[in-house]
Amino acid sequence: MEKFVVKGEVQLRGNVRVSGAKNATLPIMAATLLCSGISVLHDVPYLRDIQAMQDILTLLGAKISRQGRSMLIDTTNVSKAEIPEHLMREMRASVFLMGPLLGRFRKVRVSYPGGCAIGPRPINLHIKALEKIGAKVDESFGYIDAEAAELTGGEINFDFPSVGATENAMMAAVLAKDTTIIRNAAREPEIVDLQTILNKMGAKINGAGTDTIRIDGVKSLVPAEHTIMCDRIEAGTFLLAGVMTRGDIVVENIVPEYLFSVTDKLQEIGAQITPGQNYIRVKAGELRGVDIKTLPYPGFPTDLQAPMLSLVTIAKGTSIITETIFENRFKHVDELTRMGAKIKVEGRTAIIRGVPKLTGAIVAAPDLRAGSALVLAALAAEGTSEIEQVYHIERGYENFDKKLQALGANVVRLR
């Protein structure tokens, strides 16, 4: 099993380019199923989750090829509207396929997604949205069957601004007969990116990025060419790495406004932040504790809670981090404690008392973002650390070790 061996106490310096966003690529790949023909996506990252989605689309009948950082998806021969159980369990993001398959074929069959290491992600919001626009949904024997002789449009009011449910509803509604209004919609930039490509395909959508989205149904769509937005979570991770190692780095290929909630907290911690048109430079100062609560966008992202927690373990004073999105997102705490961190968890709140330094240890990545948090801790720690189960990290970070090496980190991958 592969692992990272990290020798700590090296200041990161230099420039790093952020890849295309995984969380934008997955629903956009699903959206290509809404029509027949060849769609071209640029700046598609090479990640385990992207490959898993590619395998699912191929099974449904799509032909997919890669040319450098571009992906060509030919959906001409897609005819299946059922996703096998083993693929649904492999990747929860396969739930994105419900909307486009229902929109194109007026039916879809999926099994319930498998468990998730960071807590349950209820599918009920997805089902409710599809029912609101005319689908009949049957749940039995572990499967979800949805069908509609005609999608009629309607009003969808989410109890919680779910990103996945918002995206699924958008994709199902674009081929509905009438208008669909989504209220309390998620506002993440990835939803704006999905709206952009759907409109290129001929959809009529506006409002993405606000809490109300309007979709005027159209009769058909056509393939499109699109460049995937930058990965704001990867960008935030590198900014945190620069601060945690007391370094000086420039994170490129980003939209600074996507990261205001993160850079504001980094300034509060003591970092110097210099934003540019498509970059952010970060320099570390004396670190001090902060209080953070994860919230839907534009609040502090839950996907950066774990790396931020690693950072404040070496900040002076006490920090309090409250996780409001997922209930099991403190699995990295036990591993950080092995490295000398002082952390107490009470329900969804972690209380962190800063220590002068962490020390190297053998730890294991329990999930994607927790894995990146452990790498950051190892970069700052005294001595050598080993991070096992790095396959979790490779689900969402492209060439993480190589990018860190280019900034001066002493990171080696061992098999």
Task: Quickly count helices (H) and strands (E) in the chain.
Answer: 13, 23
By CB atoms closer than 10 A (0-12, 13-18, 19+), residue 284 is buried
Tokens of 321: 């981090």
Q: Which one of 77, 116, 183, 274 is the catalytic residue? A: 116
C-alpha 313, offset from chain centre: 24
Which residues are 73's β-sheet partners? 39, 64
* Among the listed residues 12, 189, 30, the one whose alpha carbon sits nearest the alpha carbon of residue 97: 30
E-only strand ranges, 96-232: 107-111, 136-140, 143-147, 155-157, 179-183, 204-206, 212-216, 225-227
CB within 8 A of 67, min separation 6: which ones?
A: none
211, 240, 250, 238: which is closest to 14 by C-alpha?
250
Catalytic site includes residue 230 = no
Residue 313, number of CB atoms within 10 A of its CB = 28
Which parts of 174-257 fold into alpha helices (H)?
189-200, 232-244
Catalytic positions: 116
